[in-house]
Amino acid sequence: MAREAFFLDSPRGRRFCIASRPPGQALGTILYAPPFAEEMNKSRRMAALAARAFAARGWLVLQPDLMGCGDSEGELAEARWQDWLDDLQLAWDWLCARAGGIRVVWSLRAGSLLAADWLRASAEAPALLLWQPVSGGRQHLTQFLRLRGAADMLAEADAQASMKAVRAGLERGECVEIAGYTLSPLLARGMETSAFELPAGYISPVVLLEMGAEGRTELSPALLALRGRLEAAGVAVQGHVVPGAAFWQTQEIEAPPALVDHSLDALNGLRA
């Protein structure tokens, strides 16, 4: 297994990528759709460990930094949701040019929203490995905007007023700073209108993995609802609770090993 860091050229600047290559011919390809803001930083170690494990089992894995994130060029304040969708397409094209076999998109948190929006605009139908997927962009954006009031240690009424002011600024076309991240109105609008909805007649399997306490076996109500919607649409979907911490939001960096094990089991199932 080898890892390689490089840049891909795009019309809006270069995108930093890390490719994890298998020791022999690839079984298939895995594209990572990362989470948003601090959740991305908190989860970098977990994602890196998983990518190495996937590559060691024969997969070619690509982890891109989206525009304005990580080591990619561009400013987050200038990034649009469409830019991030274009970045996923750029990374997908790179993978498809280098290996055949099974196609997989792997996401964490808000990466599921990006993946679903991208899939609806493309003709692709990869298998999906979704870590703690977010099903609604509006709620996810609201949770992020609430960090403004929390950072200022505001009382509930003041926090609500702060939220209204932030949303008003975005509606006026202004960038807003939340928890050290400068959010553009176009990025916010794209996230807010996004939802995890797959194209009609989606033919590939979907695996939902949710972190939970030891011994818990039932998915949360939100993911049970998501699984139900997918099943009603005829999608082959599995959902599992994985013991371990919510590593994308813990104070200390954590990397629950059970998540890698469950993910490898899911990938092995795609080969059957």
Residue 271's pLDDT is what?
80
88-115 tens-digit pLDDT: 999 999 999 999 999 999 999 999 999 9
- Interatomic CA distance for residues 76 and 90, integer angstroms: 18
Q: Tokens in use for 68?
A: 């304005």
Instruction: Report the pLDDT averaged over residues 21-43.
Output: 97
153-189 tens-digit pLDDT: 555 556 677 778 888 889 999 999 888 999 999 999 9
For the chain, how many structural domains are there in total?
2
DSSP 26: -
141 and 251 in a common domain: no
Q: Which is nearest to 54 in space by CA: 91, 118, 105?
A: 105
Residue 150 has pLDDT above 70, yes or no: no
Q: 242 forms bridges with which residues in the sheet? A: 211
pTM, two decimal places: 0.95
Residue 83: how many other CB atoms lie within 10 Å: 22
- Interatomic CA distance for residues 39 and 83, integer angstroms: 19
230-243 tens-digit pLDDT: 999 999 999 999 99
64 and 30 in a common domain: yes
26 and 85 in a common domain: yes
DSSP 77: G
Q: Dihedral, CA atoms, 148, 76, 40, 229, nearest 10 degrees? A: 80
Residue 26: how many other CB atoms lie within 10 Å: 20
- Interatomic CA distance for residues 94 and 99, integer angstroms: 9
Picking from 193, 221, 241, the residue at the C-terminal end of a domain is 193
167 and 68 in a common domain: no
126 and 7 in a common domain: yes
73 and 39 in a common domain: yes
Segment holding 104, helix H or strand E? strand 102-108
Residue 100's pLDDT is what?
96
What are the φ/ψ torsions at residue 101 (nearest 5 degrees)? 85, -155
- Interatomic CA distance for residues 55 and 19, integer angstroms: 9
Picking from 193, 214, 239, the residue at the C-terminal end of a domain is 193
142 and 132 in a common domain: no
Q: Yes or no: say if 225 and 218 are a contact pair by the CB < 8 Å rule.
A: no
153 and 266 in a common domain: no
Q: Yes or no: say if 223 and 237 are a contact pair by the CB < 8 Å rule.
A: no
- Interatomic CA distance for residues 212 and 243, integer angstroms: 5
38 and 57 in a common domain: yes
Instruction: Report the pLDDT averaged over residues 5-28.
Output: 97
Full residue range of the structural domain in which residue 58 is found:
2-136+197-270
114 and 165 in a common domain: no
Instruction: Report the pLDDT averaged over residues 74-84.
Output: 96
DSSP-based three-state secondary structure for 138: helix
Q: Tokens in use for 152?
A: 């200022």
219 and 118 in a common domain: yes
Residue 65 has pLDDT above 80, yes or no: yes
Q: Which CATH number characterizes residue 214's domain?
A: 3.40.50.1820
229 and 131 in a common domain: yes
Picking from 175, 193, 211, the residue at the C-terminal end of a domain is 193
Residue 59 has pLDDT above 80, yes or no: yes
